Amino acid sequence: TTSQEEGEPLAVIEMPTTVIKPGIWAVHTPLGGEVKATVFESDPQAYMLINYCGWHNGVLVHLWTAAVTRSRILTPIFRRHLISLLEDHGFHFMHSKIVSW
């Protein structure tokens, strides 16, 4: 869904997953429960920044944040731009890891 309200997420993408083993995830339709990824920053021609949350012991918790790009190559300038956007939204290098593939 999309929102026209200022300060609301640009979009919410339903993206249920199961971790098969570390590094391999399956996306599927769950039986009961829901998992959503929220797009909190985007440039439709270049990237989306997404928060992924799920339920743990009845509490909604943050699981991961992702930067999804249309480019196969991240130039140093574009990478710094994405990192800056992540930092603007609370990402801290001292407490988090960046994984790219």
Strand 24-27 versus strand 47-56 pairing type = unpaired
The ranges assigned to domains in the chain are 11-88
- The number of residues making up the chain comes to 101
Residue pLDDT, tens place only, 3-24: 445 444 444 555 566 665 543 4
Strand order in the sheet with 59-69: 11-14, 36-43, 47-56, 59-69
Residue pLDDT, tens place only, 40-73: 888 878 888 877 777 778 887 777 787 878 777 7
pTM score, whole prediction: 0.55
Q: Are 86 and 80 in contact (CB under 8 A)?
A: no
For 9-63, give the DSSP string: -SEEEE--EEEEETTEEEE---SS---EEEEEEEETTTEEEEEEEEEETTEEEEE
